[in-house]
Structures are given as C-alpha cells and as structure tokens.
Amino acid sequence: EDQVTQSPEALRLQEGESSSLNCSYTVSGLRGLFWYRQDPGKGPEFLFTLYSAGEEKEKERLKATLTKKESFLHITAPKPEDSATYLCAVPPYNTDKLIFGTGTRLQVFP
Amino acid sequence: DGGITQSPKYLFRKEGQNVTLSCEQNLNHDAMYWYRQDPGQGLRLIYYSQIVNDFQKGDIAEGYSVSREKKESFPLTVTSAQKNPTAFYLCASSIQGKAEAFFGQGTRLTVV
C-alpha cells in the first residue's frame, strides 16, 4: 500500500539550532516527492520537488534530500519565521493524485 | 497574478443544509483537486478532475459532489449526507501529467 510517514510529529528548536525532518515513503515507481510549507489557516505553499535518489534542492535555510526510501528536510540556523507545518507528499504510480504525510509542526523560538 | 482562489474563507452551515465551496484558477491547469484537512491527519483526497466534464472520486467522496463545466472552475458541494463536514477544505491544481500541485488558501467549514 502506498504510504507516507513523517517524523517527528512536532519539533521545537531554539533560533539557530539546526535539525532535520524526515519523510519515509512506500510507493511503486516514484515520480517525485514534494515538500510543502503550511502556515496556520493557510493553504500549503510549494517548496521543492525531488525526482531521484541523490538529488538535493536548496532554498534559503532549507535543503531537501532524497534516498530510495526517505527524504530529509534539513533546516540550518532556523529563524522564528521558519515556524510552520512541513508536509511531504508523493503521487502513486500512474496517477497525479498526491498522498500526504501528516506533517511536522516546527516551532522556532528566539 | 496567477493563482487559485477559494471562497469563502469561512463558511457556517446548519445541519441538514447543502453548501457549495468555490474554487477558481487562472493558471491554465487541466487538473484540479479537492482535499480535506483535519487536525492530526494528512490531507485526504475528496474528488479530482483531469479534464473538463470529467471527474473521479478520491478516498473520501461520500457526502460530497463536484462539477467541472469550465477549465477554470471546480466547485465542491458538501451535502447533508456528509456526517462530519466540519473541516478545512483545500483546492489545488496541476499541469496534466505532473503531480506537482499548487493550492488555494482554503475554506474553513463549520457546522452549527
């Protein structure tokens, strides 16, 4: 069964304290893994697409990496404005629908 | 500005009433989707449409209906048959053949 699992469920960091969020997936024939950021009461905002193992993408303090079984979202020296829920999603084989994980709620304190 | 517009932002419904949530996009995307988000759960797919005048049920379609008469529009009706409609509803769109989806800002529906 196609599945996406994210951990941890919640993460509290001090400003400047780097960490990583995990997204494990089980899907036949990966056609991409997507990371989104969601602020409270808002729709998810697209961050990255990763297509193959070994691929990396960066944006400001965020770097996403991909292996054959999981993806990591590394946050370097986070700031309070990085506080949000981070979602990952994959499309099952031969479809454009997305299966989402339950997200990691990140809080960064000054 | 290109994007996806959902309206209203907040919606209150009395039990037994049908309500319709609006979703409009000007990205020229062929595919459109409706997801439901509940606290502690991932986004769950309600309905999706890959082309005008065609749509498919997602994982939780019971109690919902949709139409796709125009490429730009994909309204969702929450019927009285939906047992637990209070949730955050998200509309998304994507280019046909690409799963990379872009989302609207959501509609929060509350049953009173």
**How high is the pLDDT of residue A96?**
76
Examine the pLDDT at B36 and tell me if it is beyond 90: yes
Which residue from B minimizes the CA distance to A34? B100
Return mean pLDDT, chain B. 94
Query: Phi, psi at residue A23, to the nearest 5°?
Result: -135, 110
Can you tell me which residue has the tokens 């994959």? A90
- Give the pLDDT confidence score for residue B39 in this predicted structure: 87
Q: What count of Cα atoms within 13 Å lies in the side-chain half-sphere of residue B66? A: 30
Chain A residue with minimum CA distance to B43: A100
pLDDT over 80 (residue B1): no
How far, in Å, CA of B24 to CA of B68, rounded? Answer: 11
Q: Which of A24, A38, A39, A97 to mutate to test the interface with B (most CBs of B within 10 A)?
A: A97
Cα–Cα distance for residue pair B34/B20, rounded to 1 Å: 12
What mean pLDDT do residues B15-43 have? 94
| pLDDT digit string, tens, across residues B63-101 | 999 999 999 999 999 999 998 999 999 999 999 878 889
Beta strand A19-26 with A70-75 is antiparallel
B41 lies within 8 A of chain A by CB: yes
Q: Does residue B2 carry a pLDDT above 80?
A: no
For the residues B23-45, what does the mean pLDDT come to? 94
Q: Answer whether residue B21 shows pLDDT above 80.
A: yes
Q: What is the pLDDT of residues B38-64, one digit of tens each?
A: 988 889 999 999 999 999 999 999 999
Q: Within 10 Å of residue B28's Cβ, how many Cβ atoms?
A: 10
Ordered per-residue pLDDT tens for chain A, 110 residues: 889 999 999 999 999 999 999 999 998 888 899 999 999 999 999 999 999 999 999 999 999 999 999 999 999 999 999 999 999 999 988 777 899 999 999 999 99
Nearest to A103 among B33, B42, B105 (CB): B42
